[in-house]
Structure 1
Amino acid sequence: MHTEPEHDPAATGLAAALDIGGTKIAGALVDGTGRILVRARRPTPAREDAETVMGAVASVLDELAGSPLWGRVEAVGIGSAGPVDAAAGTVSPVNVPAWRGFPLVDRVRARVAGRPVCLVGDGVAMTAAEHWRGAARGYDDALCLVVSTGVGGGLVLGGRPHPGPTGNAGHIGHISVDLDGDPCPCGGRGCVERIASGPNIARRALAAGWRPGPDGDATAAGVAAAARAGDPAARGAYDRAARALAAGIAATATLLEVRIAVVGGGVAGAGEVLFAPLRRELRRYATLPFTRPLEVVPATTGTDAGLLGAAAAALDPRADRAPRA
């Protein structure tokens, strides 16, 4: 457990936050201003059985509970890789095969002395974080995207995050932008994720003739480095990803009149390799007068987005923190 060096012990509104993904389970105690006061972390035993994965979650919670600040925790927020079903309190992360319909909210509630527990998907958590402390702060209507191994997202509508009935609203990665495109693992075809996720950017670049450099980096980060150096196949892969993202963002703006699109996740780390063609393509797709002012900006909450978003959900007095049958 790591305790941050600067915090106000008199601060109120403390939340325990969990950020659950395929590689790590992170936990934190977060105050009402968004300061992370205590941290804990375990690797996700993603290929193990369901109880082993839950054991890692329990270990993170136990470490947080060992803090002298634990007594001030009012609620617990969970941001999890999805799909999630916030109404039922269950999770089925694609990259944690043993968890299918796993009753995570019930299991966490049993370990936190009856404190309220709120579950959101990781895209919704990132959205809540960016609206609370990041680039979407001050916007009443926003779309936030996580572009990484997959492509997720979430919405802010009317000044507050809008997770939808099951917690999956805003999942832009599975909007189809190519009706005759490649089949997607979701069952659709030509989805944004199938074109713009990190593995699919790398797949496209390799198919077009790009080859990794001496460091052997065959990921989207390696493609981005090659694109900066002028490799045409690498630039083409990012241009195509940007076009898919622009089409999905424009469709969302047309439907919901969002005013800003905030893009985070590992692929966003490519910087202008991604954002320059994304802004250019967005001008081609967002053509109606009420969509033209749409801004596209990088996320600012970084790797803490999941924890901050889970805490924001937990501390929201309007949150639905109890699963329904």
Structure 2
Amino acid sequence: MGVSDLVLAIDIGGTKIAAGVVDRDGHVLRSALRSTPVDDAEAAWEQVRSAVEEVLAGAPAIDGVGIGCAGPVDTTAGTVSPINIAGWQNFPLRTRMVELVPGVPVRLGGDGVCMALGEHWRGAGRSSRYLLGMVVSTGVGGGLVLDGRPYGGRTGNAGHIGHVVVEPDGLPCTCGGRGCVETVAGGPRMVEWARVQGWRAPAGADAAALAEAARAGDEIARAAFERGGTAVGMMIAAVAAVCDLDLVVVGGGVAKAGPLLFDPIRRALDVHAGLSYLSALRVVPARLGAEAGLVGAAALVVPPFGG
């Protein structure tokens, strides 16, 4: 890090674009939000540029840029092709950022890896060196921190746990496969399933409304969370067995349902995580909320994680 010890962090998803200035201790000092135009490449870039210029206006010089973006990403080429941002296919995100903020290192990572790294650095994962950070929201995403370091794999896409198959003959997924955990536990998919089962709710009701109904005793709503949580628990058991994890940190809008989601996750682990080395595996709520992605993106360029 340099004289100012400040980093520009960017978190790009299919709904929102966030930019922030983050200090070397992982504190977000200022931030800006924009909506994501998913079908127009240049309109989406303009939103990134606008958010960056807002947070850098009047700020001290920065020492680097960390970007977390929905994937797939290609960290070698510096391009992104997010499933949920159709307009960006092989979009040269790192090159565009180098042109916008010249003279400093620019690091790119998947948004799931950044969420996991943020929780590891400043949130619920501080005590763990082998963790999965995941978001259960509109979709299901995640990232890995292994031996205390962000793990992106060969192309930067390791940790796409939303596409672990939990129903071999299940519904088609946006990834091109079928039966992925995202098709069962993503918020809109849970609501859709509940409606098919007979849940009566106003048009536009979302996962928060489904959770409210479940807390009020609606059996179909409770069944939707039981089904979704069980699928997430099955996925966690598989990933934990492969990666020898000790902690899973779960955030996102659906996770705000609390025990409605976490209880079936833990029951599923009791059934599916039978290997002896998984006996100490813990599943806990995330702490950083919407800031996790920014904090993790900053960590891509802050020692000891990046730099």
Shared topology, TM-score over 0.5?
yes
Distance in structure 1 (CA, Å) of the matches to 2:83 and 2:174: 10
**Residue of structure 2 equivalent to 1:280:** 267
Listed as ranges, the matches of 1:1-325 within 5 Å are 12-47=4-39, 49-69=40-60, 71=61, 73-212=62-201, 216=203, 218-316=205-303, 319=306
Distance in structure 2 (CA, Å) of the matches to 1:253 and 1:44: 33
One-letter amino acid of the structure 1 residue matched with residue 31 of structure 2:
R
Moved more, 246-255 or 158-167: 158-167
Unmatched segments (≥5 aa) in structure 2:
none
Distance in structure 1 (CA, Å) of the matches to 2:3 and 2:217: 51
Distance in structure 2 (CA, Å) of the matches to 1:315 and 1:178: 40
Q: 1:184 to 1:43 in 2, by over 3 A?
A: closer
For residue 100 of structure 2, give the secondary structure of its aligned residue in structure 1.
Answer: coil
Structure 2 contact 149–305 (Cα < 8 Å) conserved: no
Structure 1 contact 146–263 (Cα < 8 Å) conserved: yes
Distance in structure 1 (CA, Å) of the matches to 2:6 and 2:260: 39
Distance in structure 2 (CA, Å) of the matches to 1:43 and 1:252: 32
Identity %: 52
Distance in structure 2 (CA, Å) of the matches to 1:46 and 1:280: 37
Structure 1 contact 235–273 (Cα < 8 Å) conserved: yes
Residue 74 of structure 1 and its aligned partner are, at CA, apart by 0.8
One-letter amino acid of the structure 2 residue matched with residue 220 of structure 1:
A
RMSD: 1.7
- TM-score for both structures, normalised by structure 1: 0.90
Unmatched segments (≥5 aa) in structure 1:
1-9
Moved more, 125-134 or 78-87: 78-87
- Deviation by residue 1:268-312 (Cα, 9 ceiling, x = unmatched): 011111111111121111111111221110000101111111111
Number of residue pairs matched by the alignment: 306
Residue 318 of structure 1 and its aligned partner are, at CA, apart by 5.7
Structure 2 contact 245–281 (Cα < 8 Å) conserved: yes
Distance in structure 2 (CA, Å) of the matches to 1:23 and 1:178: 27
Distance in structure 1 (CA, Å) of the matches to 2:289 and 2:98: 28
Residue 174 of structure 1 and its aligned partner are, at CA, apart by 0.6
- TM-score for both structures, normalised by structure 2: 0.95
Distance in structure 1 (CA, Å) of the matches to 2:155 and 2:192: 32
One-letter amino acid of the structure 2 residue matched with residue 266 of structure 1:
G
Q: Which aligned segments of 4 or more residues in structure 1 are displaced greater than 3 angstroms?
A: 316-319
**Residue of structure 2 equivalent to 1:4:** none
One-letter amino acid of the structure 2 residue matched with residue 32 of structure 1:
R
Q: 1:250 to 1:126 in 2, by over 3 A?
A: same
Q: 1:226 to 1:316 in 2, by over 3 A?
A: same
Residue 314 of structure 1 and its aligned partner are, at CA, apart by 2.1
